Amino acid sequence: MMRAAAFLALMLAALPAIAQPFKGTKQPDVRYVPSPDSVVDAMLELAHVTAGDTVFDLGSGDGRIPIAAAKRYGAFGVGVEIDAKLNREAADNATKAGVAGRVRFFTQDLFEADISEASVVTLFLLPRINQALIPKLRRELRPGTRIVSHQFDMGDQWPAEKSQDVNGLMIYLWTIR
């Protein structure tokens, strides 16, 4: 909890409330498709998000998951999205939701982002990207960090601990050990 509070203070002091520009030229690996609100709610519930969590959404699109984590649970939300236009929309959405002080959005490649402060990571990416992320997740995340993915698992190399059907859409949970 203290670590999350220190991280929040650092983030608020070091960053303006708008999305950060991305200096690279890489294009998104995944076309943005928003997760339905029912799935967002179920993902955050499956991860047992609390006010003490820092929720990183990799490929955050319009920011709905970090915003929901901040609004419903009081968590600190971080969105990592390569598309600057979507990040501007996410920052606007956070302001409209009244949680701009509890979320930040970075325009960055998710493979290059520092995710070490996350206590929860959410994903809605393709299977090959989930699998390519496994070494990064295991290397950068602390034991006890929960990972929840909408629709796609990590394949045979990392079976999910739990899965749940949400109106015909699957979500999966892993915990860093």
- The CATH number that applies at residue 131 is 3.40.50.150
**Is it the case that residue 157 has pLDDT exceeding 80?**
yes
Number of domains in the chain: 1
pLDDT for 32: 85
Tell me the average pLDDT across 21-33: 59
The one-letter amino acid at 88: R
Assigned domain for 27 exists: no
**Largest Cα span, the chain:** 42
Question: What is the spatial distance between Cα 63 and Cα 53, in angstroms, rounded to a whole number?
Answer: 17
Average pLDDT over every residue of 34-55: 97
Q: What is the pLDDT of residue 31?
A: 75
Q: 100-103: which pairs have CB atoms within 8 A and are 24 or more residues apart?
A: 100/17, 101/12, 101/17, 102/8, 102/70, 102/74, 102/75, 102/76, 102/77, 103/63, 103/66, 103/67, 103/70, 103/76, 103/77, 103/78, 103/79
- The answer to whether residue 29 sits within a structural domain is no
pLDDT-based confidence at residue 26 (cuts at 50, 70, 90):
low
Residue 31 lies in a domain: no
Q: Quick check: is 125 in a domain?
A: yes
Say what percent of the chain tops pLDDT 90: 81
Rounded to an integer, what distance in angstroms lies between the CA atom of residue 148 and that of residue 70? 17
Range of the domain at 86: 2-20+36-175
Is residue 55 situated within a structural domain? yes
Domain membership flag for residue 98 = yes
Tokens of 82: 């390569």
Give pLDDT tens digits for 108-140. Answer: 999 999 999 999 999 999 999 999 999 999 999
Residue 25 inside a domain? The answer is no
Check pLDDT > 90 for residue 36.
yes
